[in-house]
Amino acid sequence: MSSIGKQCHDFYSWLLLCDDGLSFFQKNTTSGERPIATMASSRIFSISSESTFISSPIFWTVAAILASILIYNLFLPPASLHRSSPVKPYRLSLLPGLGPLTLYSQRNTFLRKAFGDPETWHTSPPKQNGLRLNSRGHVMTIVNDVSADAKTFFNDRGLDFNQGYEVMFAGVPQLPAWIAPTPPAEDAGIDGFVMNLKQAIGGQRLTETIPDIVRIIVENFKTYPSEGGELDVHKTIYPLVFQISVLLIGLQEHARDINTVKALETPFWEFADNTGFMATHFPLLPWPSTVKKWIGAIKMSTEIRKTLEKRKKEGRRENDHVQEMIDRGASTKSIEDFVMGGLFAAIINSTGVAAYGLIFLCSNPELRDEVRNEMDEVFRRSAEERGDDYDSLSLTEKLSRVPLSVWETDFPTYQTVLDETLRLLLISLIFRRKLLTPSKVTQTTTHISSDVIRNREFVSFWLAAAHRNSNIYSDPLKFDPTRFARGEGKGDGEFVPWGAGRHICLGMRFAKLEIKAVHAAFLFNFPDTRSVSPQDGKAFSSDDVPLPDQESEHRRYPTKPVVLKYGTNHVSKLPANE
């Protein structure tokens, strides 16, 4: 997941958690004192104006302190990295104090170098079990032995989910308090976030929203060419799934039409695409990618706040979860935190899975037709039970009248397609932090690869060690939904695209509904679509359909260009809202 955005804190406490070093600077700032760095630099400046600064002992003392801090930060890893343990430490960092920067810029390449390719582990077993490394002063053990460590990773109560992501995965930044000061509200914080998310995407809301979800999908399809279209999923399916997520989690004003939703979508990806090492571990350094990330977050946050304030000022009411938050007196800041965090959690995986699911399906026309027929049968039966004449219904009517219970019934073939898409896409790292708190339930001893994880250390689970592991899956790089019928991926931790145990995905039900709705509408409206190369028009098959680039964790760009090519767009000529 790739993917977790429930860190809703104010800006300062977010920084405190992200960066222990910078928290020193911050504490001094917030207490009203001048930070030491500022005091020191102004002293140097005043000395320099007297042109004797080079010989001044103060200058040399300050320079020595700064140099020591720099050396300490760049070259000295935490002492516990190198300890007597069955897990080997990573020793090859150029700057051992920072650790391997490629863990962020080229994550899967880095992990493959350390462990070997999971696709060949049945013939060349992993070079080692577990890897301990430093990531900017934080010790982290990476899990690659699924059978030994998955249970611990997903169930150990001493492993904290939120701190894992807050430190190791650039969390959801908030609009800085100095731009928009508002006191914290009851709805803020992790508990408030979870409570709101459960309400925003609960069964009742999903039931009520099905007609709007279908309307959004059909309106979107109407904008595609009427004949012979070639769809780039990043320009079509991605914004569509974004819009559906905004419908449930964000403000109706944004969800109403695809053009308005772009006011959020562009900055969202600007933010999500710039969460590398520097943005994660040095969030205050104006590094180019960090600046882009902050600009994206601030634009998004400002857009949400502006729209919210406008609604309140005009006394307008909307039918969305945000309205419920307004009605119970939640502050603007806590609403904004919820929407930002919720969208971040909701969008990254749903967009990729919805888009790639179609690319996979349309690379196998027999399977594509089988899935469409399976859906058609279920929806026809549902229409007959309601007393509708299925064949005379429009696409919108066919799908929007289907109750949630029917969307959630068994679609056995489709289910294997979805699972296979999830298996191939979910290959990144997920995080935890070992925290010994006064509570008895967290006082566990956590063993990973037979090593004891110390207090405040991190553990991360490499999903590719499960989903691409040739000891678990035959021919792991092939899109082959029939593998599940052969019993592949049934063991503990072997198939965990939604997580497992204590933090299994909270948005799974909503994600499955929106993805299935997009897929059903697409297959009905564009029945003859093929996944083709835009360069030579050649159709891909399940054997050669390009997989997502393993380093494109958020956007899932394919390794070779691929478009969805269809013959006729059946809804293109229909008037609006039909």
Of 275 and 569, CB closest to ligand HEM:
275
- Identify whether the C-beta of residue 352 lies closer than 8 Å to the C-beta of residue 555: yes
Closest C-alpha among 171, 193, 231 to residue 433: 171
Of 11 and 161, CB closest to ligand HEM:
161
Of 77 and 481, CB closest to ligand HEM:
481
Tell me phi and psi for residue 555, to 5 degrees: -90, -20
Contacts of 302 (CB under 8 A, 6+ apart): 175
Sole residue written with tokens 């991605």: 238
- Identify whether the C-beta of residue 532 lies closer than 8 Å to the C-beta of residue 565: yes
Of 295 and 404, CB closest to ligand HEM:
404
Residues of span 86-125 touching ligand HEM by CB under 6 A: none
- Smallest distance, Å, CB 313 to ligand HEM? 28
Cα distance between residue 362 and residue 531, in whole Å: 5
- Smallest distance, Å, CB 183 to ligand HEM? 25
**Do the annotations mark residue 505 as ligand-binding?**
yes
- Smallest distance, Å, CB 161 to ligand HEM? 5
- Identify whether the C-beta of residue 75 lies closer than 8 Å to the C-beta of residue 95: yes
The region of 284-292, 346-354, 359-367, 551-559 touching ligand HEM under the rule CB under 6 A is: 346-354
Of 201 and 218, CB closest to ligand HEM:
201
Q: Which of 350, 382, 469, 550 binds ligand HEM (CB under 6 A)?
A: 350
Residue type, 50: E
Q: Which of 4, 150, 246, 325 binds ligand HEM (CB under 6 A)?
A: 4
Q: Where are the alpha helices (DSSP H) in 49-188?
A: 57-75, 102-105, 107-115, 146-155, 161-168
Site map (CB under 6 A) of ligand HEM, residues 148-167, x = contact = -------------x------
Of 163 and 525, CB closest to ligand HEM:
163
The region of 75-83, 345-353, 364-372, 556-564 touching ligand HEM under the rule CB under 6 A is: 345-353
DSSP one-letter string for 334-385: HHHHHHHHHHHHHHHHHHHHHHHHHHHHTT-HHHHHHHHHHHHHHHHHHHHH
Sole residue written with tokens 């577990």: 130
Of 283 and 497, CB closest to ligand HEM:
497
- Identify whether the C-beta of residue 226 lies closer than 8 Å to the C-beta of residue 377: no
Indicate the SS3 state at residue 194.
Answer: helix
The region of 318-326, 341-349, 472-480, 550-558 touching ligand HEM under the rule CB under 6 A is: 341-349
Closest C-alpha among 524, 501, 521 to residue 513: 521
Asked if 414 is part of the footprint of ligand HEM (rule: CB under 6 A), the reply reads no
The three-state DSSP-derived secondary structure of 230-297 is EECCCCCHHHHHHHHHHHHHCCHHHHCCHHHHHHHHHHHHHHHCCCCHHHHHCCCCCCHHHHHHHHHH
- Smallest distance, Å, CB 460 to ligand HEM? 9
The region of 69-77, 300-308, 315-323, 503-511 touching ligand HEM under the rule CB under 6 A is: 503-511
Residue nearest to ligand HEM (CB): 507
Residues of span 424-443 touching ligand HEM by CB under 6 A: 426, 430
Asked if 557 is part of the footprint of ligand HEM (rule: CB under 6 A), the reply reads no
Site map (CB under 6 A) of ligand HEM, residues 234-273, x = contact = ---------------x------------------------
Closest C-alpha among 137, 130, 129, 69 to residue 99: 137
- Smallest distance, Å, CB 265 to ligand HEM? 16
- Smallest distance, Å, CB 160 to ligand HEM? 10
Asked if 353 is part of the footprint of ligand HEM (rule: CB under 6 A), the reply reads yes
Closest C-alpha among 306, 213, 202, 292 to residue 251: 306
Cα distance between residue 104 and residue 303, in whole Å: 29
- Positive or negative torsion for Cα 318, 323, 328, 330: negative
The angle subtended at Cα 169 by Cα 166 and Cα 172, nearest 5°, is 65
Asked if 339 is part of the footprint of ligand HEM (rule: CB under 6 A), the reply reads no
Closest C-alpha among 147, 81, 108, 91 to residue 495: 147
Asked if 503 is part of the footprint of ligand HEM (rule: CB under 6 A), the reply reads yes
- Whole-angstrom CA distances from 227 to 224, 534, 570 are 9, 16, 9
Cα distance between residue 401 and residue 408, in whole Å: 14
Asked if 449 is part of the footprint of ligand HEM (rule: CB under 6 A), the reply reads no
The alpha carbon torsion through 265, 18, 7, 10 (nearest 10 deg) reads -90
- Smallest distance, Å, CB 536 to ligand HEM? 31
Q: Which of 283, 357, 497, 548 binds ligand HEM (CB under 6 A)?
A: 497
Asked if 505 is part of the footprint of ligand HEM (rule: CB under 6 A), the reply reads yes
Residues of span 176-235 touching ligand HEM by CB under 6 A: 197, 201
CB-side neighbour CA atoms (13 Å) of 129: 13
- Smallest distance, Å, CB 269 to ligand HEM? 16
- Smallest distance, Å, CB 270 to ligand HEM? 20
The region of 2-10, 19-27, 135-143, 292-300 touching ligand HEM under the rule CB under 6 A is: 2-10
Of 369 and 408, CB closest to ligand HEM:
408
- Smallest distance, Å, CB 352 to ligand HEM? 7
Number of chain residues interacting with ligand HEM (CB under 6 A)? 26
Asked if 349 is part of the footprint of ligand HEM (rule: CB under 6 A), the reply reads yes
Sole residue written with tokens 């939120």: 162
- Smallest distance, Å, CB 345 to ligand HEM? 4
* Residue numbers belonging to the annotated binding site for heme: 505
* Residue numbers belonging to the annotated binding site: 505
Residues in contact with ligand HEM by CB under 6 A are 1, 3-4, 6, 161, 197, 201, 249, 342, 345-346, 349-350, 353, 422, 426, 430, 497-499, 503, 505-507, 510-511
